[in-house]
Homo-oligomer: A and B are copies of this chain.
Amino acid sequence: MKDLYGSPGKVSGLLLRIGQCVFAAASIGVMVSASGFSSYTAFCYLIASMGLLVLWSFALACLDMHALRLRRDLRNHILVSLFVVGDWVTALLSLAAACSSAGVVVLFAKDTNLCRSQHLSCLRFQISISFAFISWFLLAVSSHVMFWLLASV
């Protein structure tokens, strides 16, 4: 298999996973701190999806650290296939969650002006969604690297 930036078992791969974890956790933290988020399905789905992303990325970060410490090569066909499926499912779910929440926030802030009239904490919603998008972007980089590794065998 080729040696790409962000491959599993490399420092760049580990940094990507840590970045995904941190931003997803920050997204959950900011959303939970916003009052009234639980009344909206899209925001609850964002929290669930970011929770899954944290678990997945944390598990892979641990695996990367283990491989780096013991100098193991994680780039075998079965492991990379597993990473590809997990990465793509998590990336799709997190993009869907971030976009649906963004759609709801645009409705609140622009289409109906509910942010002002109902005193919703729209700024926190927006910050949380931005973190979710950053986390998704880092996961998308990992997913593409994994898919490229698998395809170039």
In the complex, what's the smallest C-beta–C-beta distance from A148 to chain B, in angstroms? Answer: 5
Q: Tell me the A3-50 residues at the B interface (CB within 8 Å).
A: 39-42
In the complex, what's the smallest C-beta–C-beta distance from A46 to chain B, in angstroms? Answer: 9
Q: Tell me the A104-149 residues at the B interface (CB within 8 Å).
A: 104, 106-107, 110-111, 144, 147-148
A148: B residues at CB distance < 8 A? 147, 151
Q: Is A101 an interface residue (CB 8 A)?
A: yes
Q: Interface with B: A54-62, A66-74, A92-100, which one?
A: A92-100
Q: Is A86 an interface residue (CB 8 A)?
A: no
Other contacts beyond A96-B102, A100-B102, A100-B106: 12, CB < 8 A: A39-B111, A40-B107, A41-B107, A42-B107, A95-B95, A99-B103, A100-B100, A100-B103, A103-B103, A104-B107, A147-B147, A151-B152
Please name the 8 residue pairs, one residue from A and one from B, whose CB atoms are nearest each other, closest first.
Answer: A100-B103, A151-B151, A99-B99, A103-B103, A42-B103, A96-B99, A99-B100, A103-B104
